[in-house]
Amino acid sequence: MSLLDRLQSFGSFGSWRAIVNLWTVVFFAAIFYDYTHENVLADNTALLGIAGVYAAVLAIYSAEKEFRRWHHMHKSIHPGEMYTILWTLLIIVLVVCSALFNVKYRLPSEVSASYIAVITILAITRESKNYYKRTRKKSR
């Protein structure tokens, strides 16, 4: 594969999934670091920047997935529920560990806002998927 072919495929749907997965790992690692270092990333706004990039990448990936679905180009199954489960577990672990171990940690608004964004994107894409299935059945 030539360099030009690789560059053209960089913006492909599969690439966006890989980018979302990468930023999920980066964001979770940053949250863990922030937790273990008493909000150092939240206090210097580094966590805000990471959260912003994560939300943007997730929104782009989700929008492209829905676009592909509506144009009959989406065949793979990649459940968004997994992101929601991971986020829910992360939030629960942070809250429980903070309470149990009396850690001086406050859940940054960037983390809770990102969790809300993930849940919202899941709800919108699931409703779009259900609507797509209903309209497809009617047209047959």
Domain edges within the chain: 14-139
Helix 81-101, helix 13-36: angle, nearest 10: 0
Q: Which residue has the higher pLDDT, 3 or 103?
A: 103
pLDDT in tens, 81-131: 888 999 999 999 999 999 999 888 999 999 999 999 999 998 888 887 777
DSSP labels, 40-103: HHHHTTHHHHHHHHHHHHHHHHHHHHHHHHHTT-------THHHHHHHHHHHHHHHHHHHHHT-
pLDDT in tens, 12-25: 667 888 999 999 99
Give 10's pLDDT tier (boundaries 50, 70, 90): low
- pTM for the predicted model, two decimal places: 0.80
